[in-house]
Structure 1
């Protein structure tokens, strides 16, 4: 069988041992990755990819030393199971610790960690212990507003809001259908249905999210969902609003597809890592229409990506569909894990005169589906 490969997809780095599922870039070309604990007990959790392409544990010290088999105490000040990393315009790295290993929620482990990249030290830890997280609770990803952090919670399905000034934590939309896996969805990749270890369709709740550049609207979706949902951040942060009232403010938004990860550029365009078709789409900030960016067989569960200041989309390949928990109990991971980049037509703020990549129009999507 012929392999589809596009020379616009350029390899950036490899991870020989550790699975990665997210990348975060800074304006001065530093690159950080999240390394979840899905393949075993040992991982760096968070690493910086250095200029020589090696992975250096970050920020170092006790933060990167947790091991559930040999060293499992002090979970509030060590990375237990990191699921996401994000940089902001103030030179901070934000790290989401899901607090879950396997299917077990570890008490006091779920947290959002703020690391100051000027001195490479942890500046603040936002614990969600006040929520008394039930078993199954798992933080997933984060976007940062002016005074709030918005996080998806994928274990049970909800949105978590943290006031970054006071540290107050709230959990909302935990009973709303927008944050839940929609039965009877069955997603396929590489010719196989994505099944859990019991041979049942894999169920994943609220996962991806994007915050518009003006900070006014939050988009979110379960990874296997076919729609974005949206809600205003003013409604999310309105503590006087009941759950029912907030739920009525949620709108079904743009069409999407099963995605391994997403990111939004500074113009509000969303990049969708289409896991079924092994493609990347750009979704217009104006009308939600899709433009095909690339199709390549090397896109094996493109995950949480990021846009560089010089106009490249960086995509880590996490191979989640090959894990036993998504592959009917069989491990088909192929090491090393790869990171790629591709030139795009939208860039981070402050960059000008970037060549525009000619993309396929939405009509190409229809032709592509018919192949």
Structure 2
């Protein structure tokens, strides 16, 4: 009998908070909300294929690239001229040569002006992130006066793995007969690495392959627009996107290389002299890498002439700046800055970058392509000059 009374009493207590209906109204449009800051300018709107890379030359010419990831890509490298994007250096070079993978452009991931009158095109030879085609991954330099190819460097077999996806690059003409180029291998399914190539000979070394600084952070779960960024694994389950070393920047004096995995919030650095020294063992090199702490999750990096480093922050729709003393500041935060990709400093004191909604692709949204055109080339005034390459 006592148990029945106790149960009835408990029922009354539990029901008491719900004795009266709680009224509510729709949240007012003018309720306090996330605030944007910083002034973004749109340089170009893209209504066709999705771009990933941009570079601005010392004379102000702008080049972009469109990797062949599934969109209709009539040309993989273009120049913005008079408000339009045209194939560069011409339409013929932007077609794959089925008989010679080292010839035509297959799928360009990055374009970089070298400050010496050339623009370099980085061909992954891996459309759709497939295994790179043998002898297809390459660097092509185009003279900006003649718009003709003046250098072609095919990556040697000793630096290429079946999983290699060459991603971004930085040049230093203070070392080697014709200079040195540093590149990231941002593999999705193999070890990341830094590739060091001598421009004169085309010889290259694979450094820091598979070490923590060039690898996916196993604890990292990216969250963009409030949703975890996941992909379907072979077993049908979804897992966080895992991309190895991606963004790269070279200090103004050429002595330090900065790099970051896309799937990480940490920035790393290492002395370039050690990277170039074949006698410096991988174990020694790994020990020499510095973890500079968290910077946010970035796709692209860039350096200026005054010693600052710039990084996208794709989880927070932001661009951040690392001062020479190591302190970080956020330059712009804007909900329209959807996935800031490659960064490039122009001769006009602006930082240029692509916002391409990469995270809204079908692979990350359970088969639904949620990208909304146009994609944007944006810029932000920073009153800084690009880091010199010589």
Q: TM-score range by the shorter chain?
A: 0.7 to 0.9
Aligned-residue RMSD, C-alpha: 2.0
Structure 2 counterpart of 1:181: 216
Could you tell me how far apart the structure 2 residues matched to 1:43 and 1:263 are?
29
**Is 1:160 the equivalent of 2:195?**
yes
Give the CA deviation at 1:113. 1.3
**Is 1:149 the equivalent of 2:181?**
yes
Structure 2 counterpart of 1:197: 232
Structure 2 counterpart of 1:326: 364
SS in 1 for 2:310: strand
SS in 1 for 2:239: coil
Could you tell me how far apart the structure 2 residues matched to 1:167 and 1:223 are?
27
Between structure 1 and structure 2, the one with the greater Rg is: 2
Picking from 85, 93, 102, the partner of 1:55 is 85
Superposed counterparts of 1:160-309, under 5 Å: 160-198=195-233, 199-284=238-323, 286-309=324-347
Deviations 1:132-189 (A, max 9, x none): 6222111010000122100000113011111011111111111311110011211111
Give the CA deviation at 1:74. 2.6
Runs of 5+ in structure 2 lacking a partner? Answer: 1-28, 174-178
**Is 1:12 the equivalent of 2:38?**
no
| Runs of 4 or more consecutive aligned structure 1 residues displaced over 4 Å after TM superposition | 1-7
Structure 1 counterpart of 2:67: 36
Moved more, 129-138 or 75-84: 129-138
CA 1:7–1:169: 2 relative to 1, 3 Å: closer
Deviations 1:286-325 (A, max 9, x none): 2221112111111010110111222111121121101123
Q: Is the 8 A contact 2:107 2:126 kept in 1?
A: yes
SS in 2 for 1:245: helix
Number of residue pairs matched by the alignment: 344
Could you tell me how far apart the structure 2 residues matched to 1:119 and 1:109 are?
25
CA 1:182–1:346: 2 relative to 1, 3 Å: same
Q: Is the 8 A contact 1:23 1:306 kept in 2?
A: yes
Q: Is the 8 A contact 2:122 2:168 kept in 1?
A: yes
SS in 2 for 1:64: coil
Could you tell me how far apart the structure 2 residues matched to 1:255 and 1:298 are?
24
Runs of 5+ in structure 1 lacking a partner? Answer: 351-371
